[in-house]
Amino acid sequence: MKKLIYIFLINIFITNYSSALIEVDITRGNLDPLPIAVSPLHVDIKSEKYKEINVKELGEKISGIIEKNFKNTGLFNPLKKDAFVQKPDIAHVKPRFEDWRLIKAQALVTGKLLISGDKLKVEFRLWDLAAAQEMTALAFTTTPSNWRRVAHIISDKIYERLTGEEGYFDTRIIYVAESGPKTQRVKKLAIMDQDGFNTKYLTLGNELVLTPRFNPTNQMVTYMSYFRNMPRVYLLDIETGTQEVVGNFPGMTFAPRFSPDGKKIIMSFAKDGNSDIFTMDLETRLVERITEHSSIDTSPSFSPDGKFIAFNSDRSGLQQIYVMRSDGSNVKRITFGKGIYGTPVWSPRGDLIAFTKMHKGRFYIGVMRTDGTGERLLTENYYQEAPSWSPNGRVLVFYRETKSGSKGEGFSAKLWSIDITGYNERRLSTKTDASDPSWSSLLTK
Amino acid sequence: MTLKSNLKNILLVIFTTLLFSACSTAKKSADIEGDVYTGKETVEYLAAGVPDRVFFATNKSSLTTASRATLRKQATFLRKNKNLNVVIEGHADERGTREYNLALGERRANAARDYLMTYGISGKRLSVISYGKEKPVNPKSSPISWSQNRRSVTVKVN
């Protein structure tokens, strides 16, 4: 048993995939969230002190994060702990299923942890209370300072087991932190955990920065900066902090994103009043022109297989969304609805494109199939744009601005998220005003 | 009879009120013509009688007759001041997506630059930068302030 706990991230118990077990359907809005009891993780009394961490409370803190993650999905209803009927250590070994059913729980999460020799060892189990059996279990070891991530990883595993799809909790969001009056906004790159914790600023705010986006491995970020009053696309290594300009363009480059293999950056280059789409291979430095049109072509986004590119262009008058092959051939307009369409972003699952729509002075975030059919508007507001996908393709994060008065009063910019079902719209907590969010992929797979 | 004349009076009052309110709205929108700002409120001057900026319609980068007149004044000013270089800033209002607005600002600044060049100003003296919707001059969320923010501004560099 003890040996097994040392094995990082592998299932140690036999998992039962019987189809009779509970399942959560995430393909539609869930008005009847699954009641789930998250027992505090039992803290082994042999646990040693570690830096600033309050070891005694760690079990409750981790279960608290799991509960918050679940609540935010709108799919689960974490039950209040004061009704819990069993001590965490006993429940983890052998839950009394009847007692948990009495408090109307359908699923139960139990676990335990031990800090020893600068290592945090955690295991957890997910129980189906109606079927009176264990659904999944996992044990892993990490450094104690990673304890919040432990909670997110457990959340992901449970979400995956109950919904049949990957979770999105052990992820981060990079965004632009905003402060100051509307006419003199100070903007910094910021990164935080998906739940708003561990905010770090990556630039100082000396120059305007916009539209950061992660590479597939989440170590690099491409963004736009006005460093030395030269608006250009930059590449930033988050770990080392090194930055470089992408390419050597004689004018503004903007709207950058990575290709799905992370090898190229796709972006717009503006010259003489005309913006076209280009790619640059980060290894060979080879620059390729993708579109050549006298209109504004921008906001490019690759399909996850790398074969297609969605972008917006005003070649037909006002902004519309187009799809083309990744070499720029076979350009097809896909939006024909009333209004202006922009910021297409291909879902990581490949089946949908998220977009911003402007119509009669209102702004919408929506999704459509990749041929433009099946448009669904998810949310309407005074101003909102720039959707970014959760790694499992179920949730969109975007930013929303409010109206302001003659001195700029009342103005705010905040991050919001919404399920692609159109349900569960909620504001993400950020330390400052925020815009241009980009959601990472899962940090641990 | 009295009822009728009373009614007449009431109608007259209503009519005059309508007339007044029509006047006041007309006054407010007098600074916008076909979606383009025509007022002077935010304008600064490169020299006496030489406005520094021109305004655009929503999503457009075409120059109005008034904008051309302003740019001709700028061209005359730049011809007289041969050692002066300028940067032309292009801006958009807040009612568009960020990335498109960056491109739109660049297109507007270049529309002004092209016009100055046709009046004999060397392109070498005219650099261009787009700020998209990032630097509004008027922070209010209203049609008039948006029209003031849809602009290109000629700024002296040296």
Average pLDDT over residues A366-395: 97
- Checking if the pLDDT of A8 tops 80, the result is no
Q: Which residue among B59, B97, B129 places its CB closest to the CB of A231?
A: B129
CB-nearest to B99 from A229, A255, A274 is A255
Best B97, B110, B148, B149 residue to mutate vs chain A (most A CBs within 10 Å): B97
Q: Does B97 touch chain A (CB under 8 A)?
A: yes
pLDDT at A307 over 50: yes
Q: Please name the residue of chain A whose CA is at the shortest distance from the CA of residue B109.
A: A273
What residues of B are in contact with residue A229 (Cβ under 8 Å)?
129
Using pLDDT thresholds of 50, 70 and 90, give the confidence band for residue A444.
confident
- What residue of A is the nearest CA neighbor of B149? A183
The pLDDT value recorded for residue B9 is 58
Encoded tokens for A228: 């030395």
CB contact under 8 A, B139 and A407: yes
pLDDT band at A6 (very low <50, low <70, confident <90, very high): very low
At A24 the pLDDT is 76
Which residues make beta-bridge pairs with A50?
A53
The string of pLDDT tens digits covering residues A220-278 is: 999 999 999 999 999 999 999 999 999 999 999 999 999 999 999 999 999 999 999 99
**Structural domains in chain A plus CATH codes:** 2-163 (3.40.50.10070), 172-439 (2.120.10.30)
A298 neighbourhood in chain B, CB within 8 Å: 99-100, 102-103
CB count in 10 Å sphere of residue A13: 14
Residues listed for chain B? 158
Nearest-5° Cα angle at B10, B8 to B15: 95
Q: Residues A407-417: pLDDT tens digits? A: 999 999 999 99
**Which of B130, B153, B142 has its CA nearest to residue B55?**
B153
Band of pLDDT at residue A385, cut at 50, 70 and 90: very high
pLDDT tens, chain B, 158 aa long: 444 555 555 544 544 444 444 444 444 456 999 899 999 999 999 999 999 999 999 999 999 999 999 999 999 999 999 999 999 999 999 999 999 999 999 999 999 999 999 999 999 999 999 999 999 999 999 999 999 999 999 999 98
Q: For residue A296, which residues of chain B lie inside 8 Å, CB to CB? A: 100, 103-104, 107
Could you tell me the end-to-end alpha-carbon distance of chain B, in angstroms, rounded to an integer? 78
Cα dist from B75 to A54, A112, B40, whole Å: 70, 76, 20
Whether the per-residue pLDDT at A289 is higher than 80: the answer is yes
Indicate the pLDDT class of residue A306, thresholds 50, 70 and 90. Answer: very high
Question: What value of ipTM does the predicted structure carry?
Answer: 0.92
Residues of chain B with C-beta less than 8 angstroms from the C-beta of A272: 110
Share of chain A above pLDDT 70, in %: 94
Q: Is the pLDDT of residue A98 over 70?
A: yes
Q: How confident is the model at residue A32 (pLDDT cuts 50, 70, 90)?
A: confident
Residue B78 main-chain phi, psi, to 5 deg: -70, -30
Q: Which residue among A252, A319, A404 sits closest to B140, beta carbon to beta carbon?
A: A404
Q: Residue A30: what pLDDT?
A: 64
Average pLDDT in chain B: 88
The DSSP-derived string for chain B is: -HHHHHHHHHHHHHHHHHHHHHHHHHHHGGGEETTEE---TT--EEETTEESEEE--TT--PPPHHHHHHHHHHHHHHHH-TT--EEEEEE--SSS-HHHHHHHHHHHHHHHHHHHHHTT--GGGEEEEEEETSS-SS---SHHHHHHHSEEEEEE--
Q: What is the pLDDT of residue B152?
A: 98
Arithmetic mean of pLDDT, A165-179? 98
Who wins on pLDDT, A298 or A27?
A: A298
Say how far apart CA A106 and CA A129 lie, in whole Å. 5
The average confidence (pLDDT) of chain A is 93
In whole angstroms, give the CA distance from residue A301 to residue A308: 8
Measure A433 CA to nearest chain B CA, in Å.
15
Cα A260 to the chain's mean position, in Å? 16
pLDDT at A360 exceeding the cut of 50: yes
Res A23: pLDDT: 77
In this prediction, residues A39-65 reach a mean pLDDT of 95
% of chain A at pLDDT higher than 90: 91
Is the model more confident about B152 or about A2? B152
**What is the pLDDT averaged over residues A342-362?**
97
Looking at per-residue pLDDT, the higher value among A342 and B19 belongs to A342
Radius of gyration of chain B (CA): 21
pTM of the model: 0.91
List chain A residues with CB under 8 Å of B134. 185, 208, 210
Please say whether the beta carbons of A194 and A168 come within 8 A.
yes
At A120, which helix (H) or strand (E)?
strand A119-128
pLDDT of A22 higher than 90: no
The DSSP call for residue A79 is P
3-state helix, strand, coil in chain A (%, to 5): 15, 40, 45
